[in-house]
Chain A
Amino acid sequence: MSRIGPTLEALRSQQRTALVPFITAGDPQLAVTVPALNALVRGGADLLELGVPFSDPEADGPAIQASSERALANGTGLRDVLKCVTEFRASDDQTPVILMGYLNSVLAMGEGAFAAAAAKAGVDGAIIVNLPPEESKSLRNALAEKDIDLIMLAAPTTSDDRLSAIDRAASGFVYLVSLKGTTGADHISVGEVNQNLARLRGRTRLPILAGFGIKDAATARALGEQADGVVIGAAIVSRMAALRADADAIPEALYRFVHDIRQALDA
């Protein structure tokens, strides 16, 4: 059974905002990925998003593109990503892990084979950036059979009718894209996100997590007033990139970054 629902439910009852950091598996090296995940949890992450590197990440901004390219240069494939999850699960059986990537990685393995392998590794959910609800049926069914949530995205441009359709297709939570743009964009408006959150809130019973463009504790805290959680990706990946020559220092740096945001959210 997916850990996502119970985890978000527990946070909601404690009136805490879910903190979801993102890193790309294999960036800057595969050996760093599991220590980094552990450090994020120690720092206060409630759920983890693990990026599956793809050659053509069309929804990502420069930071995550570069991260994907570094991971691919190391030869990181979907099977390596799943191995990281298996390894992480050996010491952490609680924290939900969500894979984030593009559909072609899944199709190349096969939807059924992917669902089986992901379940075996201990994956709880998948976010496929270029898979809108209309095209999602077969993967959704394959994942549902293995109790893995397929998380749907809602955007500022999504009409009210579509929000309802997205709710019907989603499980786990709905990922609200906070701005018109790519990951790591720098034009987030808390007011606009809250308007879209309110619109979405009326159309889904699922928790709503906001992501894209959230780079610091202040923004995370402001969004946490309304959202059930926040996803932080590009800001973390950029910190890892700056330390790539000194990879041993990455877990500690991630711990401190996430810890500060956790404190701001809980204050």
Chain B
Amino acid sequence: MPQPGSNYAQPSPDGHFGQHGGRFVAETLIHALDELEVLYEQARADPEFQAEFAEDLARFVGRPSPLYFARRLTERLGGPQIYLKREDLNHTGAHKINNCVGQALLARRMGKPRVIAETGAGQHGVATATVAARFGLECQVYMGVEDIARQSLNVYRMKLLGASVVPVHSGSKTLKDALNEALRDWVTHVDNTHYIIGTVAGPHPYPTLVRDFQSVIGQEARSQCLQQMGRLPDALVACVGGGSNALGLFHPFIDDEAVRLVGVEAAGLGLETGRHAATLNDGQVGVLHGNKTYLMQDADGQISNTHSISAGLDYPGVGPEHSHLKDIGRAQYDAVTDEEALAAFRLLNQTEGIMPALESSHAVAWVVREASRLGTGQIIVINLSGRGDKDIQTVAELDGTTL
């Protein structure tokens, strides 16, 4: 982790990443955030906590996840050497579980018997329900009714895990509204409840602690690169919705300035159509969900409805550290369309026998598009943040197939 003295030691003591981040919430929640901040600082420095976390990542999540050389994809594209960081092989099928294990351990330390979460595609909801079962915590997951309709399999899965899923009818009835509703639950039950935010956003200290829990991805990838290739990669590529898988991969490389960091946002139907979720490409700075960051919004500051084929990227904000990395130019943020992501989804299935989540397919699609501009000697690591089983229904519908 970048230490003081690094150009990238963020956030500031009050939780700012450059001009972004901070703590913009109702006064009622400040006490809980203060408590979480103190407890997290203790846990972070406590070898016993770190050992517990590492133990669960190894035995429950199944880490380390492999760094896999995608030989046939590399040959097909005729460009750089492509490696996949296989977060899809984690328990529950995505990177989300890393953060959930960490936060469940924090909830237990705080003596809070109940956890809540928001979810869009349902992956974070499933991961939260999973750790709640694992640690014996009561669990309630907020989910927009639009997403419940799109992701019925994950809804049922959460119920099987013993969680209750609360449909959210307000606003656009998607992820951002589920987050609002989770904040309302938290403000009401703050004494006995820990809110497990699923991405590197929200009020301080969430962006920091989620980043730290997800940094295991980049720590592993860094040592795997050194071990398997004898050198660091030339570029890291990851999809960005809220941005937790991307920041988890990027962060341990942040002082390695020769390593290019590429975040790939959802261009939906195309940036020019306005129907997308490419916040860092097309947003303005504002405040939502407890932090200052780039947002998709109109001239009056109302948050826009976003679009992406991938529910996990369909969010009008982005983690504040990404906004800062964009501002200072350390990372670049590009975007690929629904169509490009779908093509990449199919390509990876057929060249490697790996079905990526539609979210992760965005990162693959960027490499497909840029391959000819990347030299053959280059080493590229793509974060394959989740598996695509949850998306089969969506893709089948686009194919006109009824399952």
Contact = CB atoms under 8 A, between A and B. Distances in A.
Contacts of A135: 22-24
Contacts of B26: 58-59, 129-130, 153, 155, 177
Interface string A67-108: 001001000011100000000000000000000001111111
B302 A134 contact: no
A16 to B, nearest CB: 27
A134 B28 contact: no
A70 to B, nearest CB: 12
Contact of A134 (B23, B170, B171, B299): B23
Interface stretch (B81-89, B122-130, B184-192): B184-192
Contact of A104 (B27, B191, B295): B295
A177 to B, nearest CB: 6
B25 A130 contact: yes
A60 B187 CA distance: 10
A158 B30 contact: yes
A109 B298 CA distance: 11
Nearest to B179: A58
A103 B31 contact: no
B302 A55 contact: yes
B48 interface: no
A108 B286 CA distance: 7
Contact of A132 (B25, B179, B191, B289): B25
A166 to B, nearest CB: 8
A5 interface: no
A56 B171 contact: yes
A57 B188 contact: no
A131 B301 contact: no
A249 to B, nearest CB: 27
A27 to B, nearest CB: 15
Nearest to B25: A130
Contacts of A54: 301-302
Contacts of A104: 286-288, 295, 297, 301, 303
Chain B: interface residue count, which band? 35 or more
A61 B23 contact: no
Interface centre among A58, A135, A154 (most CB of B within 10 A): A58
Contact of B27 (A55, A105, A106, A155): A155
Interface string B172-192: 000011011001100111110
Given A132-B23, A153-B26, A158 B31 contact: yes
Contacts of A78: 300-301
Contacts of B180: 56-58
Given A55-B303, A134-B14, A158-B31, A61 B184 contact: yes
Interface stretch (A38-46, A140-148, A179-187): A179-187
B66 interface: no
A105 B301 contact: yes
B187 A59 contact: yes
A58 B183 contact: yes
Contacts of B303: 55-56, 104
Given A65-B170, A130-B25, A135-B23, A162 B30 contact: yes
B290 interface: yes
A129 B26 CA distance: 6
B30 A103 contact: no
Contacts of A130: 24-26, 287, 290
B23 A180 contact: no
A157 interface: yes
Contact of B171 (A55, A166, A182): A55
Contacts of B24: 103, 130-132, 135
Nearest to B191: A180
B106 interface: no
A157 B190 contact: yes
Contacts of A155: 26-28, 30-31
A58 B184 contact: yes
B26 to A, nearest CB: 4
A15 interface: no
A181 B287 contact: no
B271 interface: no
Contacts of B285: 107
A107 B302 CA distance: 11
Contacts of A154: 27
B32 interface: yes
Interface in B4-53: 14, 22-32
A207 interface: no
A108 B301 contact: yes
A65 to B, nearest CB: 5
A258 B154 CA distance: 48
B299 A108 contact: yes
A195 interface: no
Given A56-B180, A58-B184, A159 B287 contact: no
A156 interface: yes
A79 B300 CA distance: 9
B317 to A, nearest CB: 10
A62 B28 CA distance: 18
Contacts of B191: 180
Contacts of A77: 300, 302
B176 to A, nearest CB: 6
Contacts of A105: 300-301
Closest 3 CB pairs of A and B: A108-B301, A155-B28, A77-B300
Given A58-B184, A108-B297, 7 more contacts: A58-B180, A59-B187, A65-B170, A109-B301, A134-B23, A135-B23, A158-B31
26 contacts: A55-B302, A58-B25, A58-B180, A58-B289, A59-B26, A59-B183, A59-B187, A61-B184, A65-B170, A69-B171, A104-B295, A104-B301, A105-B300, A130-B26, A130-B290, A131-B24, A134-B23, A135-B23, A157-B28, A157-B190, A158-B28, A159-B31, A180-B28, A181-B187, A181-B188, A182-B188
